Amino acid sequence: MTTFFLMCWEFFKTGLFAVGGGLATLPFLKQMSETYGWFTVQDLSTMIAVSESTPGPIGINMATYIGNRMFGFVGGLAATLSLVAPSIIVVCIIARMLEAFRDSKVVKGIFAGLRPAVVGFIMAAAFSIYVSALTQVDAYQASGQILDLFRWKAVALFAALLALYKWKSKLHPIVIIVIAAVCGIVFAF
């Protein structure tokens, strides 16, 4: 199977099984990174930052970015369509069947079981992204010094922005994004 069709297949599977929205695509993207090496976990954290900063669903933004990076405009379009096609198909099928099964205990049970599983997948992916953004394992392994394990500028920025967001909870997320971007430029992250 060529890489192009493999990419389309992987995004189709992601769209089919990523129940819970855009963040639910993170475990699938992490698996793609580890299996195929199309991008690194560091690239994934950058894609999340860009996708969260741009309009539109995060999963679609990331699929478009990865496809475009790999195969240009056609790849971006193919990856995006591959990601959304399962949702369109499933919604059309469910819409036909919803009236008959809306009050089914089995259907309610399925969705009750899926919710915690989705949260677990998202938390696992988020944890690995936090680790890649705030630590530098290579530097630690090279020196053996525990202080070299952390990206101290990133940890300080994370802590400061988290405290600011908790202190000023009505602060618009755009302000946090702009502050983070300016700090990244000024302090050369």
d(C-alpha 148, C-alpha 152), whole Å:
9
Query: What is each CA distance from 61 to 47, 49, 77, 118, in whole angstroms?
Result: 8, 11, 11, 20
SS3 185: helix
d(C-alpha 156, C-alpha 42), whole Å:
18
Q: Is 39 left (phi over 0), alpha (psi -120 to 50) or beta?
A: beta
* pLDDT of the residue at 51: 77
Per-residue pLDDT of the chain (189 residues; tens, 9 = 90+): 699 999 999 999 998 888 777 778 888 888 898 899 888 878 888 888 777 777 778 888 889 989 999 999 999 999 999 999 998 998 888 777 766 777 788 878 887 888 898 888 888 888 888 888 889 888 888 888 888 899 899 999 999 999 998 888 788 888 888 898 899 889 876
* pLDDT of the residue at 141: 87
d(C-alpha 107, C-alpha 104), whole Å:
5
The answer to whether residues 131 and 35 touch, using CB atoms and an 8 Å cutoff, is no
* pLDDT of the residue at 67: 94
> What is the CA angle 77-38-123, rounded to 5?
90
d(C-alpha 173, C-alpha 84), whole Å:
27
* pLDDT of the residue at 1: 60
SS3 123: helix
* pLDDT of the residue at 181: 87
* pLDDT of the residue at 100: 73
Provide the residue ranges of all domains of the chain, joining segments of one domain with +. Answer: 3-134, 136-189
